[in-house]
Amino acid sequence: MKKLENKKGFTEVFVAENGKKGVKNFDGIIIVPANYDEIAYTYGRRIPKDYPYVAIRDGKMGLVVPDGKGTELTAFVYDYIGMTSPNGWLFYKKDGSTQFGIMTAAGKEVMPCKLDSYGEDCQTIYFTSGDRQGLLQTSLGLLLEPIYDNIEVEDPDSQIIFTLNGEKGYVKEDGTFVPQSLSETLSEDEWDYILDECIRDQYDFD
């Protein structure tokens, strides 16, 4: 049991003699050197062991790899970096923006700061930009721009219903919009690839 806990155990922030902070793992091994003013989050058992840490230096946030070397994935230019589910996506603010952008856990910005709000349900993150809505399906890595009038789910086991330019429909896992008027033409196999909230788990704890 101890071997399992060593791989999936909790981490903790430690303070060095110089007052800087870093992170140790369950066994007391330093995985993020004490080079930072603060560590924004520590992680538990449901976070992959290579997931980057959000550190703070000189009032700005950045991503650091838990490799024991202090490898930095991003410059420390962010006003905010917020975790979502541990499937490799984060929301950020920078340059004084009051809106959010999206980046991958590798530090790549995939959407600029244009989102007003976001919320997560199961493996799907919904967000708004003005009066438009979009979503991020984390386990698929599918990012849909905020172009939809409305996005709704009747229940977690049903498909997500999108309204685009006044017309209701569905979206395939490749991002293709299918109007409800054409949904009867979908084969049984095609229905298997229509988006719903909870598709599949891809956590990797090894």
Count CB neighbours of 90 within 10 A.
24
Percent of the chain with pLDDT over 90: 54
- Which pLDDT tens digit goes with each residue over 175-196? 999 998 888 888 888 877 788 8
Q: Is residue 45 scored above 60 in pLDDT?
A: no
Percent of the chain with pLDDT over 70: 85
pLDDT at residue 201, rounded to an integer: 40
Contact 23, 66 (CB under 8 A): yes
What's the angle, vertex CA 139, arms to CA 144 and CA 80, rounded to 5?
Answer: 70
**Residue predicted with more confidence, 49 or 33:** 33
Please give the mean pLDDT across all residues of the chain.
85
Residue 198 CB contacts under 8 Å (≥ 6 apart), including other chains = 122, 123, 124, 156
Strand locations in the chain (E): 12-15, 21-24, 30-36, 38-39, 53-57, 60-64, 78-83, 89-94, 100-104, 109-115, 117-121, 124-129, 132-137, 142-148, 150-153, 160-164, 167-171, 177-179
Q: Is the pLDDT of residue 203 over 60?
A: no
Per DSSP, what are the bridge partners of residue 30? 24
